[in-house]
Chain A
Amino acid sequence: MHHIYLDYAATTPVREEVRAAMAPYLSGVFGNPSSAHRWGREAAEALEQARADAAQALGARPSEVTFVRGGTESDNLALFGWCLAQRSRGESPTLAVSALEHHAVLEAAEWAEEAGLARTVKVGVTAQGRVALDEVRRALATGPTLVSVMWVNNESGMVLPIAEIAELVAASGGTLHSDVAQAVGKVPIDVREVPVDLLSGTGHKIYGPKGTGFLFAREGTPLEPLLHGGGQERGLRPGTQDVAGAVGLATALRLAVAEQKTEGKRLTELRECLEKGLVAELDRIRINAGEARRAPHVLSVGVEGISDGAALVMALDLEGVAVSGGSACTSGSAKASHVMEALYGADDPFATLRFSLGRDTTTEHLQRAIRATVAVVGRMRGA
């Protein structure tokens, strides 16, 4: 059986250009970028070129880009780094995070409160994509506040109104962080146009290597490191840099942004084809966040009459179609995802199936996915 991968929001394969760009830095140019000799200089040059490429893709300056080891680390560095900087100024900071955030933000914010570093408030978001701006305003009024709202939600594909929130936050002198793991290459992101202060991204969602990530921090944003033991990345992220990883990440980022318009259009058409097919073939389904603005690559479908979303994903796997329930990170868990609970309430009778499309997705793949979904849902509803 030919297997079909429709879980690109979970992770992507490394694309050929990225692999080729990384190859010289795995063995040939292997120096430590902090070394003073020729080997070190070559590595440092590659690293700084990668930083310049990554910065350019975001509309940022190279000095505003820190290479880290993944999206989770970037989120944690943004939240804790900012909290620590506030505390060392004697402030009592507040974290205002949207209810749809990835666990890397949500649990970090909860822990910041447990650890006594910050007060944390959760900001509601409706299924139509409206953020409770009043709650944001109230938080901003309490003193130094970091607002964290993801650019694109990983489970529903919803695009959050970052520009609007950025204006509000900037006007109140707050700080805005946005997790862009699912947004890079899917929607336009330019820090010259949107006054966002911190962005967290990852390589493996954009055909780059796993274990790579970046933090954009607008100049002047106070941050303290979480790790100690070296001066790398201007002291913000000590530890010998992964030059090949940085080159891979920067290449992936540059290509994703360059192709965003054409690939976004193609994926939107494919997603609409999938959506139409499922709606035509299945009753009692709902397109999650269907009334909100959505990113091109994610289609989240609520299926009524199935008590067990986890088994639905497994059954589709056995039919050769790889999708996820909420997000890949919560797969296997019986608990309703925090995102669907925030959008539709705790007693929502719909199980979630997330299809996410990518570079290799074709109409034929989607036709097969539709057939498999119809068969599996029919069997499980009958059981």
Chain B
Amino acid sequence: MSRVLVAMSGGVDSSVAAALLTEAGQDVIGVTMKTFCYSDTPSHGKTCCGLDGITDAKRVAAALGIPHYVFDVEEDFTRDVIDDFVSEYAQGRTPNPCVRCNGNTKFRDLMRRGRALGCDHIASGHYVRVHHREGGTSLLRGLDPAKDQSYFLWGLPREILPSLAFPLGKLTKDEVRARAKAFGLVTADKPESQEICFVPTGDYRDLLRRRLGSHPALEAGPIVRASGEVVGEHTGYAGFTVGQRKGLGGGFRESVFVLEIRPETREVVVGTHDELFRDEVQVGEVNWLTDPPLSRAELHVQLRYRAPAVAATVEQTSDGLTLSLTEPQAAVTPGQSAVLFDGDRLLGGGRIVGGGHPGRL
């Protein structure tokens, strides 16, 4: 019997993952990661956003009759995820903290502590499939297209893939809810969490204000057209993301969108929807979960969670990748992920550095 460490957030998905592994007769150990405390005062009010999650996970584990532990990763999480989140916004980019957490914090810590606890496998409630075969292990998209979470996992260290198990990869969300009810789990009817876990209020600018103090990213600056014409004023470029339409104020003849953020001049560049399209994407901090593809390989790239993957030709550059998109795409957003697929197979990805128009040069 193999011993499996399952990451339990206290939500319905990971609860069902733990229940399925237990039902399958595995030696299951539940763990919840304590990622942060959002109270800055040390001596009192130590409410952690994760605490409700920890309580729920403990209750589910107790009902399943499996041990449950809390892994305190607050220090690593603050450094690798929250600090990065703040610094990305300060530089006019739009970070993707879940990708960062999975790749840098969560799965690395699970592996390390899992080994100490004598575990052979690491499991989570992500909707993604894992395919073990002779030549190595690959990750495949979850079968439920509405829930597939492979997009968030491109940053995993490749060497841990053989140790992974994702019991929900072949299930739909409805099936998972039904299993949760059938198991009688206390988390069966818990609503989906949407917001970033360390910004429970949804107001990330408040977090930036607290962590950056006074910073150009939070100060007023000009809204300009691509031509340089000043057309308005904004209250801090950290409040904007490429492709955004709301919050630019009125007075425009047609709908305008954020095209670019220029931190050095605090300019937010706006333009029409047509001006949003890019057919080239520069990607940095690349990570491969397979052997890197050959130069000029024709693959598919997903540029946002829930966006369809689109055809692209991939070329390696000195510091990353250049993707040439077969069809131009709107809102290529620096800081977000470019995730590469071959069919259903997750190949790897990187952070979007910028977009361009090679065809027009």
Contacts and interface: CB of A to CB of B under 8 A. Distances in A.
Interface residues of A, number: 19
A310 B118 contact: no
Contact of B113 (A311, A333, A335): A311
Contact of A114 (B34, B43, B75, B115): B43
A383 B67 contact: no
Contact of B72 (A107, A110, A334): A334
Nearest to B29: A318
A314 B117 CA distance: 7
B43 A332 contact: no
Contacts of B116: 308, 311-312, 314-315, 379-380, 383
Contacts of A64: none
A312 B44 CA distance: 28
Given A308-B113, A311-B116, A334-B75, A318 B67 contact: yes
Contacts of A311: 113, 116-117
B71 interface: yes
A114 B41 CA distance: 11
Given A315-B117, A318-B29, A318-B67, A310 B43 contact: no
B67 A317 contact: yes
B115 A318 contact: no
Interface string A323-347: 0000000001111000000000000
Interface in B191-216: none
Majority-rule SS of A interface residues: helix
A332 B72 contact: yes
B74 interface: yes
A318 B117 contact: yes
Nearest to A103: B43
Contacts of A111: 43-44
Contacts, number: 44
A306 to B, nearest CB: 8
A332 B69 contact: yes
B67 A332 contact: no
B93 to A, nearest CB: 30
B39 to A, nearest CB: 14
A83 to B, nearest CB: 16
Nearest to A108: B43
B74 A334 contact: yes
B299 interface: no
B159 to A, nearest CB: 15
Q: Which of B67, B71, B74, B116 has the most CB of A within 10 A?
A: B116
Contacts of A317: 67, 69
Nearest to B76: A334
B224 interface: no
B103 to A, nearest CB: 20
A107 B70 contact: no
Contact of B34 (A107, A332, A379): A332
Interface in A83-113: 107, 110-111
Interface in A295-312: 308, 310-312
Interface in B137-171: none
Given A308-B116, A312-B116, A317-B67, A333 B44 contact: no
Contacts of A379: 116, 118
B44 A383 contact: no
Interface in A322-373: 332-335
Contacts of A110: 43
21 contacts: A111-B43, A114-B43, A308-B116, A310-B71, A311-B113, A311-B116, A312-B116, A314-B69, A314-B113, A314-B116, A315-B117, A315-B118, A317-B69, A318-B117, A332-B70, A332-B72, A334-B72, A334-B73, A334-B75, A335-B72, A379-B118
Interface of B: 29, 34, 43-44, 67, 69-75, 112-113, 115-118
Interface of A: 107, 110-111, 114, 308, 310-312, 314-315, 317-318, 332-335, 379-380, 383
Given A332-B70, A383-B116, 6 more contacts: A308-B116, A314-B67, A314-B113, A318-B29, A334-B73, A379-B118
Nearest 3 CB-CB pairings of A with B: A311-B116, A334-B72, A332-B70
